[in-house]
Structure 1
Amino acid sequence: MVEQVALLLIGFSICAAAIILAGSLSIYANSAGGRISRASGRLLIAGLAVLQWMHWDALAGGVDRVGSPVYIILLFVVAPAFYLFFRGALQLEAAERPWHLVFYAPLLVAGWLQPAIAIPLSFLCGAAYAIHLGVLVFRLREQRKRFQIEMFALGVFAGIAVAVLALGLALPFLGLRAFVLAYSSMIGIASMLAIHVLLHFPDIATKAEEAVNTTYAVSTLDRVDREAAASRLHALMDDQVFADETLKLSGLATMMDLTPHQLSELINTRFGVGYSRYIREHRIAAAQRMLLAEPEASVLSIGLAVGFTSQSNFYAAFREITGEVPGRYRTRQASGG
């Protein structure tokens, strides 16, 4: 039974990797990181998919490649790839420095080590990377109230990473087969969580960028007429620029002759919310008006008209801001409630 569950999770994670790498669910479009970070993200997903294929072979009675030089090299690839991808999202000013490739240096000796040494060592390297990522996430603690869901998701991923690290270090006491069962299952669970987050919070990368900007950035508005900028922002919202589903922080900043950091700081300091929340609030306010003014229009058509890309995103944002779903809001308002 345990092996069957592990095989199901392996199959799911391989399919999820294919979907993400094909771009159907992109985690790169709004990623704060640069080329190294994005390339590491793709390498991470591809490396985990190949590891899962090897786990499948080992559990299903095929060729057991666990502990082979290729397997060990992949273990030494996914740890720094995980680190560099998430570092790019959590520390903008250092996201693209070429010297960060030094984190892949353990690969130079990975293929020469015995599995009993190499596998725990790869997880020890991962532990060092995870500790540093934990420090970066801890620095974002002041943003918990603005980014509760996103910070919770990051915390869950961090918890899975810690469990995986503990598993690797416990290998000498578990044996290879138990290790494969547990490790492949954890990768599968992490894949399920990643798909869930990408489906329900497609702008999580943008929100993470806002949290980082708010935490690390020095004020960029010293030479900006804040009142004039706020008035210009109000005018753009009155023109319903938020209805453009492709609108991003950088695009809106260009309309206002500001940098993305300046606009992000303006919205944070003036309205006490991040850019994504600010845009969602305007979209939902417009949707509320349309729900009452156009009773024959479908809920989906209204959601798309105000800038949401899917019904699920519209429903999630509407519930987040109003506490109820669009249909219930329309019915209650129409009945005088």
Structure 2
Amino acid sequence: MTWLPHWISLGLGLAALFLLPLWWRQERWSRLLAGCVLALGLIQLHLLLTVLGRPSLPLLLLHELALYCVAPLLFLCVQSLLGMTVRRKALALHLAPLSLVAGLAALQMARPEWLLPIEKILYGASFAAGSVYALVVLKHLGQLAQPASLARVQAVAMALIVLAGLSAALLVFLGIALEHPGFPLAYGSAITALLAGGHLLYQRFPALVEVVGDELREAAEVAGLTLEPRRSQLAGIEIDAKLAELRQQLEAKHLYRDEDLTAAQLANAVGLTPHQLSELVNEHLGINIPRLIKRHRIDEARQLLVEKPALSVLEVGLTVGFSSLSSFYAAFREFEDMAPGMYRKQAAAREKLPD
């Protein structure tokens, strides 16, 4: 498969592309996520050399350490996004098994004939550990009194990771996966696909992680979980001036009518970073950015439904920034607990009542 090295190289390049921006953000969740990306990059580097026929035992040692690191680091990253305190002591505790992994991996270098048996143990244990961590994340998400839509999507993703991890662990322990020539293909392709999907999502939704974090924290607060105070990103920012500028963009310029409006575009319009805008909106308006945009759309939709009866419900929805009738209906019901057509009928009936 001549394309396989190029495909795995793409994953390696994407890992390098993600690494520094995540680390430079200097937030706990981003540093933990950067650790995950570094681990995935090391795995891809080893797989690339293996596919090219130039395997390296020292790199195999780093690969096996990285393989175990991914799950605990991702778990701690999700905890941080939930707003829970993640301290160095917790990080050391979760990464403590690395000493055992390093010891077993070193045995392979001293006793090459032990390579496959120990690889089975390390790969199987790492996949199984990843499944356990994913189950714990599912449990955390299940504690939320009102899981956000993105939290539910994450729960489904975690459930799939549990199934995939347990299946991989079983195959490795049975000695099927490591000895199968298609294993590097499936393994490396999965990592590249994960990194490519993350890259595409980030390009399309630059503030996606902040939005997920905001929704998760909001649900966690409702559930009564103890949250860690966030370090403010608004030092030196004139709060009242930025709130006024935000109102100007939404209420006077009707920026929300753009159906493709993103948090990054709105932040750029008011001269803030997406993270600063997220904090500004959450802390000073008590709402997250997607809901703020949706609220402005629904406010104008209510007005148009009453004042312009000649417009169809679909035309009203498209005018205020919704991309489809179904998304308009869902948002309108969320705010008004009724369909837009029913709202229009009730408003017309009220106008006909005698004073």
TM-score normalised by the chain length of structure 1:
0.63
Q: 1:204 to 1:320 in 2, by over 3 A?
A: farther
Residues of 2 paired with 1:116 and 1:249: CA distance? 43
Equivalent residue, structure 1, for 2:231? none
1:234-245 superposed matches below 5 A:
237-240=246-249, 243-245=269-271
From the superposition, tell whether residues 78 and 66 of structure 1 become closer, same or farther in structure 2 (CA, over 3 Å).
farther
Q: Which one has a bigger Cα radius of gyration?
A: 2
Structure 1 counterpart of 2:13:
15
**Alignment pair present for 1:40 and 2:44:** no
Give the root-mean-square deviation of aligned CA atoms: 3.9
- Secondary structure of the structure 2 residue equivalent to 1:142: coil
Identify the residue that residue 123 of structure 1 maps to in structure 2.
127
Task: After TM superposition, give the deviation of residue 110 of structure 1 in Å.
Answer: 0.5
Map 1:1-337 to 2 at 5 A: 3-4=1-2, 6-23=4-21, 26=22, 29=25, 34-35=27-28, 37-63=29-55, 65=57, 68-89=60-81, 91-96=82-87, 98-113=89-104, 114-140=118-144, 142-145=146-149, 147=150, 151-152=152-153, 155-156=156-157, 159-160=160-161, 162-173=163-174, 174-176=176-178, 177-217=181-221, 237-240=246-249, 243-248=269-274, 262-263=283-284, 266-267=286-287, 274-279=288-293, 321-323=321-323
CA distance in 1, matches of 2:201, 2:142: 21
Residues 55 and 180, structure 1, Cα contact 8 Å, conserved in 2: yes
Letter in 1 for 2:322: T
1:183-236 deviations in whole A, cap 9, x for unaligned?
A: 1111111112111211112111121122122212159xxxxxxxxxxx999855
In the aligned structure 2, how far is the partner of 1:66 from the partner of 1:124?
24
SS at match of 1:62: coil
Shift, 1:64, TM fit: 5.3
The change in CA–CA distance for 1:85 and 1:249 in structure 2 (over 3 A counts) is: closer
Highest RCO, 1 vs 2 (Cα 8 Å, sep ≥ 6): 1
Asked whether the equivalents of residues 168 and 177 of structure 2 are also in contact (C-alpha less than 8 Å), the reply is no
| One-letter amino acid of the counterpart of residue 106, structure 1 | P
**Would you say the 8 A contact 1:10–1:56 is kept in 2?**
yes
Given that 1:55 and 1:66 are in contact with CA atoms closer than 8 Å, whether structure 2 keeps it comes out as no
Normalising to structure 2: TM-score of the pair? 0.60
Do the aligned residues in 2 keep the contact of 1:281 with 1:321 (CA within 8 Å)? Answer: no
Aligned pairs, how many?
Answer: 258
Extract unaligned runs of 5+ from structure 2.
Answer: 105-117, 225-239, 251-265, 301-317, 325-355
Call closer, same or farther: CA 1:62–1:129 in 2, change over 3 Å. Answer: same
Distance of 2:19 and 2:134 partners within structure 1: 24
Q: What is the CA-CA distance between 1:120 and the residue it aligns to?
A: 0.9
Cα deviations by residue, 1:6-60 (Å, 9 ceiling, x for unpaired): 434311111111111242xx5974x9xx43x333222211111111111111122
Question: How far apart, CA to CA, are the structure 1 residues paired with 2:98 and 2:201?
Answer: 31
Distance in 2 (alpha carbons) for counterparts of 1:7 and 1:250: 40
1:281 is displaced (CA, Å) by 6.8
Alpha-carbon distance in 1 for matches of 2:44, 2:188? 6
